[in-house]
Amino acid sequence: MIFAGMLNRIMISELAFPALLVGGALAFEQLMAPARVMFGQVSDRWPLRGRHRTPYIWMGTVGFCGLATLSIPVIFATASALQSGAATAITGWTLCLCGLFALYGLAISAASTPYLALVIDLTDESERPRAVGIIWCMLTIGIIAGAIAISITTRSLDGISDPEVLKVALQTFMNRVALVIGAIVLLATIGIEPASRRLEAGNQASKQGVTLRQSWALIRSSRQILIFFAFLLCFTLGLFLQDPILESYGAEVFGMPISKTTLLNAFWGTGTLVGLLIAGLWFTPTFGKLRSARTGCWMILASLLLLVAAGLIANTGTLLVVMVLFGLSAGIGTNSALSLMLDLTLPQLAGTFVGVWGLAQAMSRALGKVMGGGLLDLGRLVSGADQPLPAFAFVFVIEAGVVLIAIWILGRLNTAEFRKDTETKLETLLMASLDD
């Protein structure tokens, strides 16, 4: 996330890339999300040296670390092509940039899917909720720590306008980051997976007698599944539509240098961590999942409007406070949305349902990257290049409208209807399988 945020800033603000190109290229990472199903099946069926998960985690990590270092020369070559105005060069390097982020997305999927499967393999049903909570908190802490580390290590880039000097400095920085991340993954996973292990999840799934085709028929049979899918789509889009332009907002409207705009993620992450803890320990258990999700959405909407207000006064301190509030809202909304997701998942077909919810989130993340950049370009076309605030405000207001739609959809969600529809349909499918 921080890696992408810094590159967003560099490409849009320092190298003058069209924001639509940046968002479109980065969206290819999320568009590769359906490949996670394939990587999960590969790690289930074909162990390497007696282990199903860790070898694939390591190969995926080598892939995305290597592609991260390769991204710097590709980005600057694309910038040179854009400056030259040669159509062939622009087309060629744009395709290379999109292809690189597509491969990056595949590598992330190859590493993350077996990792999540490993978490399931090494925990029982009673331990998994706690494990998921720890993973989310550690992920958020990683965002905060990473943002602070990047802010400190990129201070030398502040004020650099010469592309060649910037390229060398960024390449050195990215090489070091790739080595550190690779070492952390290796130390965290080496020896954690036993060489001999039975895949209980796979055995249990085969006992159910429900084929993949029947599972999809079950998913399509419930109106509530479609409603929640639409809610997740709008909710996630409402969280991440500003993602590809946020650091550029800090640069162009507030005059923040590179080392300072990376801290926006740290403040956002801090708020998210607090929001997750408040929602998990008190808010969601006290007020219920639906009410908590609705409250989180209203808070997100208000935070987006406050982002516009912060730009009107162009005060950096106000922006940082708003980012904490935005993160707090995101934490409350995310916790309640995940809790609803568990309620709207049949234990017998958990993998299929979680895959569908993950697809909704991946689609909206990809849409957010494309639409965020495209809406910024549209806003600049209307307001002019010398008036950055109206263009950014245009994106934030559209994003607030998407959150408003998510709130409307949430009002039509009914978990009792979901259970009634899907459990009845599942019993029918299982009876049909027994008759066959």
- pTM higher than the cut 0.85: no
Query: Contact at 8 Å (CB) between 271 and 325?
Result: yes
Measured CA to CA, the distance from residue 268 to residue 251 in angstroms comes to 17
Give, for all 436 residues of the chain, the pLDDT tens digit: 556 666 777 888 778 888 788 878 887 887 887 777 677 767 777 888 878 789 999 999 999 999 999 999 999 999 999 998 899 999 999 999 999 999 998 998 888 878 877 876 776 655 655 565 577 777 777 777 777 777 776 676 666 667 888 888 889 888 988 998 899 999 988 888 876 544 444 444 444 445 556 656 666 777 888 899 899 999 999 998 988 899 899 999 999 987 788 788 789 888 988 888 888 778 888 888 899 999 999 999 999 999 999 999 999 999 999 999 999 999 899 888 877 876 776 655 554 565 566 667 778 887 887 788 889 999 999 888 788 999 999 999 999 999 999 999 999 998 888 878 777 776 676 565 555 5
Domain-embedded: residue 51? no
CA angle 383, 385, 389 (to 5 degrees): 60
Domain-embedded: residue 126? no
Q: How far apart are the first and last CA of the chain?
A: 48
CA dihedral 202, 108, 134, 346 (to 10 degrees): -40
Q: What are phi and psi for residue 30, nearest 5 degrees? A: -70, -30
pLDDT of amino acid 207:
42
Q: Which two tokens stand for residue 414?
A: 């009914």
Domain-embedded: residue 357? yes
Specify the length of the chain in residues: 436
Domain-embedded: residue 79? no
Measured CA to CA, the distance from residue 395 to residue 376 in angstroms comes to 6
- What's the domain range around 374? 209-436
What domain count does the chain have? 1
Domain-embedded: residue 423? yes
Of 146, 161, 60, nearest in space to 111 by CA: 60
Domain-embedded: residue 188? no
Domain-embedded: residue 202? no
The CATH number given to whatever domain includes residue 357 is 1.20.1250.20
Domain-embedded: residue 161? no
